[in-house]
């Protein structure tokens, strides 16, 4: 397991799999160990995947300053990894909350990015709003599922701002294209992979400046892929279409039947779309 030193001296780990052109992979969570990304549905057959364990997660060290978990400060860790790898430019693949970090990195270091793939991305860094109505509309696509009724009731409580203790667990099936044993095992593993204390700091006050980030991305001239899952509550396709419009050279791919982890739902389709873009 290779490591490198962040600019503040924190030892950070990354995991390498596959062969081919390198792609730095930024995990979501926020602040979840990169293990959940796996080989990204076989993408490692086409590219050398470099999965970064963000500080305080996975095999990376806990920093001396907890405030350094804030997303805008994590940009320096990505830059330190690029320098460590000796790459003039890096291709980035970022999932969910990790897309906030990728957007901030691209805004701050546009000349250091080759291509950028944002997979079911969070929209916090760019200040888009995903309404409760859109989440409900997306959820209703699953109305024939046997688990739908209790999951939708929990979603209604969350949207109304009256969540019960188990609401977030109850809506978990909405984030997978199939709520099968593999999906349930993937979900169960999250608890041990996520640094909750770091996640609480990730989006703290000052982490994001949406207007400035949007202005920076409007001038970002590199190719961008946004990949959305057709039935994903976290990043519904209409919101992803709006996100795509923030870049001058971006395209949106909506993976049929996929949730928030599209490489699990249809590895072949996901791998083909991302490999074609990154080629």
List, for residues 198-240, the tens digit of each pLDDT value: 999 999 999 999 999 999 999 999 999 999 999 999 999 999 9
pLDDT at 228: 98
Distance CA 245, CA 187 (A): 31
Mean pLDDT of the chain: 97
Q: What is the mean pLDDT of residues 23-43?
A: 97
What's the token pair of residue 215?
């202005």
pLDDT at 178: 96
pLDDT at 132: 96
| pLDDT above 90 as % of the chain | 96
The radius of gyration computed from the CA coordinates of the chain, to the nearest angstrom, equals 18
Distance CA 267, CA 10 (A): 34
pTM to 2 decimals? 0.97
pLDDT at 189: 95
pLDDT band at 102; cut points 50, 70, 90: very high
**Cβ neighbours for 233, distance < 8 A, ≥ 6 positions apart:** 135, 138, 139, 155, 171, 174, 175, 259, 260
């Amino acid at each position: 397991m290779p490591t490198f030193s962040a600019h503040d001296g924190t030892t950070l780990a990354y995991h390498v799999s596959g062969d081919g052109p390198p792609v730095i992979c930024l995990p979501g969570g926020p602040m979840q160990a990169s293990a959940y990304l796996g080989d990204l549905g076989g993408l490692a057959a086409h590219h050398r995947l470099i999965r970064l364990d963000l500080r305080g997660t996975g095999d990376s060290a806990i920093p001396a300053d907890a405030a350094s978990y804030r997303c805008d400060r994590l940009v320096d860790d990505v830059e330190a990894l690029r320098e460590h790898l000796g790459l003039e430019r890096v291709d980035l693949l970022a999932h969910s909350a990790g897309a906030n970090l990728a957007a901030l990195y691209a805004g701050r270091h546009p000349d250091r990015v080759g291509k950028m793939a944002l997979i079911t991305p969070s929209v916090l860094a760019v200040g888009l709003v995903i309404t409760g109505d859109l989440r409900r509309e997306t959820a209703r696509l699953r109305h024939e599922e046997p688990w739908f009724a209790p999951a939708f009731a929990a979603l209604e409580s969350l949207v109304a701002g009256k969540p019960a203790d188990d609401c977030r667990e109850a809506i978990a099936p909405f984030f997978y294209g199939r709520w099968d044993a593999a999906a349930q095992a993937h979900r169960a593993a999250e608890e041990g992979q996520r640094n909750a204390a770091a996640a609480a700091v990730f989006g703290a006050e000052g982490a994001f400046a949406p207007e400035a980030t949007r202005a920076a991305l409007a001038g970002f001239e590199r190719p961008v892929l946004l990949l959305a899952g057709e039935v994903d509550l976290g990043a519904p396709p209409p919101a992803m279409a709006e996100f795509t419009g923030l870049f001058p050279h971006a395209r949106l791919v909506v993976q049929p039947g996929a949730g928030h982890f599209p490489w699990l739902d249809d590895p072949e389709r996901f791998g083909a779309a991302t490999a074609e873009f990154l080629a």
